[in-house]
Structures are given as C-alpha cells and as structure tokens.
Chains A and B, each alone.
Chain A
Amino acid sequence: MLHIHNLRAGIEGKEILKGINLDVKPGEVHAIMGPNGSGKSTLASVLSGREEYQVTEGEVTFMGKNLLEMEPEDRAREGIFLAFQYPVEIPGVSTVNFMKTAINQIRTYRGEEPLDAVAFLKLMKEKMKLVEIDQSLLNRALNEGFSGGEKKRNEIFQMAMLEPRLSILDETDSGLDIDALRIVANGVNKLRNPSNATIVVTHYQRLLNYIVPDYVHVLFNGRIVKSGDKELALELEKKGYDWIKNEPATA
C-alpha cells in the first residue's frame, strides 16, 4: 500500500529525514517511535503534503501512485488521513459543513455521487456513535474552544467519516488524559479492518497498550535504526532511547 524508499527531506535547507525505508501493507499497524527531534513529525508532514517541507531524494508510492507529486487534497482523496498533533481551531466554519464539503469532494474525485443531506446526517450519526462524540461539539465552530481531548476526538471522528485507507496519527496521545486516550484508541481500533492501515507516531509506549502495533520502528536522527514487534516498544519504555542511539542503522 505505502512504499517509502530512501526518503530524504528537510525544511528551510536543513535535512531532517536522511534515508527512510518503510513498507506498509493493508491491515497493518506500524508504530513510529523515537526521541524528540528524530524526524517523526517530519515524516508525517511529508506524507500528508505539507508544503514547507522539501523532499530532496527518494520516492514514496501509495497504491502504486507517486505520492510526492500530489497536492494535499489529492492525497486525502486517495485515502491518506493525517490526525494532527495540534488540530487547528477555525472560527466560523462548522464541523458539519466542513465534513460535508470534504466528503463530497472526495466522492466526486472517486466518481461517486455526492451525499444528500439525509444520507450525510445518517452517516454522521453512525460515526458519532462509533467514536463517542457529542452532537453539540459538532455544531460548534471547528475545534474552537475545544479541550485537548475534544480536539483529538474530533480528529478520530473525521477519520471515521472519511474512511481512509491509511491513517497517520501524529502524536495523538499528546495532551490526553487516560480516559480520553482510551476513547480515542477505541475509536481507532473500531475503524481497523483488513483493507486499511495505520501509522502511529508516538513518543511514548502508553498509546500502544491500546492500539497494538504489528511493527515498531525506532526513528533516530532521520533514519529508522531499529525495527521489531510490539516487544520493542516495551523495551524502549524500560530502557529509554539512549541505548538505541548507539545501534547501527538496520534499514
């Protein structure tokens, strides 16, 4: 599904990713861990198409298409979803209106009929239940005045609505208390199926108790220096990141 080969990228002339290789297949959950500044969020940003990052080398294909040539909206339409570390507050735009526009633009892109108001509301009700989000939140302006937990829950709600093929959760656990973490993780787990995949970017192992990964990769200094299964995350939790810094690159 996603194939990353020797990806080098940076911002303002500073190289941050120094040759990333990663393959993600349908049904898999990959965790990307690493200390602060290792390039985790840069990887998420490059995959979702943030324009301030420049790719200098390597390739990324998604469902066989060259991802790096696509505009952010086309990546979303192809099925990539980024759950933001810091979801943006947008006064004056309601979540409902925003989601309706997004869904219908995606449907049009895929050659499907746009949803009418009734079908849209039905879909929304169903997904709201799935991610345990309240209607009153969605009637408000997008993320405006939301608590940290409400913002993250709204991200997962949007993910449920858009039914992406590949979800990238960028530090979704940051700023969440244990209850919010559980609700968010439950939402993600309910959305998992054999045809979609998830990349969980996180600093801590905590989230991985709830969203259990098939693979864990440790990113350090712009490279994946170690890959393993969920046991690797537990080992990191015990030993910290220091021991990994001395390991040679494995990928």
Chain B
Amino acid sequence: MSTGRRRLRRAAGQLASVAITLLGLLVLTFFIGRMMPADPVRAIVGEDATPETYDMVHAQLGLDRPLWAQFLRYMGDVLTGNFGQSIRTGQPVIQDILHVMPATIELATFAIVIGAGLGIPLGVLAAVNRDRWIDHAVRVFSLFGHSMPIFWTGMIGLLVFYAWLGWVGGSGRMDYFYIGMVPGRTGFLLIDSLLAGRWEVFRSAVNHLILPAALLGYSASAYITRMTRSFMLDQLNQEYMTTARVKGLSRGQTIWRHAFGNIRVQLVTIVALSYGALLEGAVLIETVFAWPGFGQYLTNNLVIGDMNAVMTCVLIVGVIFILLNLLSDVLYRLFDPRTK
C-alpha cells in the first residue's frame, strides 16, 4: 500500500516535471517565432496590399494584442492541435508533417538497428580487451563515426557506392520509375510495397535505404559503443565476476550471462536516447539524399522562410525528445530490479 502510494506520488511528480518542461518548450518556440525578421502579415497579404488589408490581417493574427495574450492564444492553438497553415501547400502544417514522418521513421529505425547491432558488440569487445590494441582500435573507429560531418559522408558515400560502384540506389526512397506505383496505405514504403506484393519496388526501396541508414547508424553507434564499454567495465571490475569464475564458469559465460545481463536495462535507455539524437543526423542526411522525410521538410521550409512549419517541426522534435527521455526512465524503473 505504502509502496504503491509512493510510486504513485513519484509518477505524479514526474508528470508534473514533464508538463513544466513542455510549457517551457512552448515559451521557447513562441519567442523564437516572435524574434523572426520575416513579417508574417506580409507573407500572407503579399507586397502590394493596401494598409487597410494589412491592418486587418495584423489584427486577425492577434498581433496587436499584448504578448502574454498572444502566448495564451498560441498555447491554446497548440493544445487543440492547430499549428497553422503551410504557406507552400496551403494545408495545415501538422497534416504535412504527419505525411512525411513515416519516411523518417523508416530511415531512423533501420539506422538504430544498425547502430545498436554495431555498437553493443564493439563496446563489449573493447571492455573485455581493455587497454589492448582491440580496445584502441574500437575507440578510434567509434570516435571516427562521431567526428565525421554526416552530410559530407553522405555525399562521398553517394559518389563512391552509387556513382562509381553502382552498388546502391541513389537519392530518394526508390527508383524514379517506381514512384506512384504502390498505393500509400501506411506511408512506410517497405510495408506498402509488401502489401501490394510488388517485390521490385521493395527491393528498390531497400537499395535506397541501405546507405543513408548505414551512415546514420554508424554515427549513432559511437555513443552506444562508448556507453556499452563503460557499463561493461563497471561490471567486470566487480567482485562477483571473480566469484563466478572461481565457481567454475567459463569466461564467456561470466561475460555474457552475468556482466552483460546486468547492463541490458541501461543499454535499452541508451538506445532510446540515441533514437532521438538520430533526428538531428536525419535533417542533414535527408537533405543530401533527397529523402522526402521530416528533415527535408524542415530544411525546405527554412529556405522559403515558412516559420509556421519550421517552429512546428522544432516543437515536435522537442516533444519526441522529452517523450523518449520519459520512456527510457520508465523502462529503467520497470526492468531494473534495484529500483523496486
């Protein structure tokens, strides 16, 4: 009873802190939106509107009211899901974003699978061989992934693997020829092409996905490798490892069953956080690969100065980040026996 209540109170406290962070997020995006040099009224009425029209739209947008009233209105809009219209398409911004989101999720999910599949074994390998050449090699390899400008690696990758070697598809999500052949039921091209039974589209999509996902995954693996190594070292240095060896377990058994078993929970939280960080790389890599996802949407709208769209994108990234943080916290609580 009392533990239940304590847990409830802790959950309430956490919810309150998330709510405050979200409110702060809104304040931040609101003020960034107000700082912008572009005049939102001009963007709507055009250059040669009469002063009367200008004033009318100015009042319609609520720009003549005090700042706090504008903020309350903005908050009300956001809470009711009204993020304004896109200048370019004339549609609600949120609808455009939901439309491009599956492409990014597809890319980021593949990338995180590659990143974790690369980073976790390398981290364990480095920890087990601490201070030997394998450890140093892994460290340099992962720092390399962490240091490369991903937009540049993307371009070099396209040049080498697409233009010169022809091993992978070029930019975009599929070959030009296949665009529009598969009905977009879910927005996830791999799923849609399978649902439609079009193997050639599926293969083309995989061909196009593999390079950007591998590069994103490599850059994400740097952090995963480093954290895995550090978690593993913490475990390997503890006395129960020696006890297990003395009891007659093999080295492999102690490493994988005992040490690795104990860090699984921590790894889940790290991978969840890395997934959020992938969004950053996605903005750049999507620009290079003409990937019609969230990142390209953001940069395209930056170029034409559609602040409604840009600020909504920024807000969404912030919310995704906060939710992932919360998720990793909850996962940690649920699965870690010590926090019970």
State whether these chains interact: no
Interface residues of B (CB under 8 A from A): none
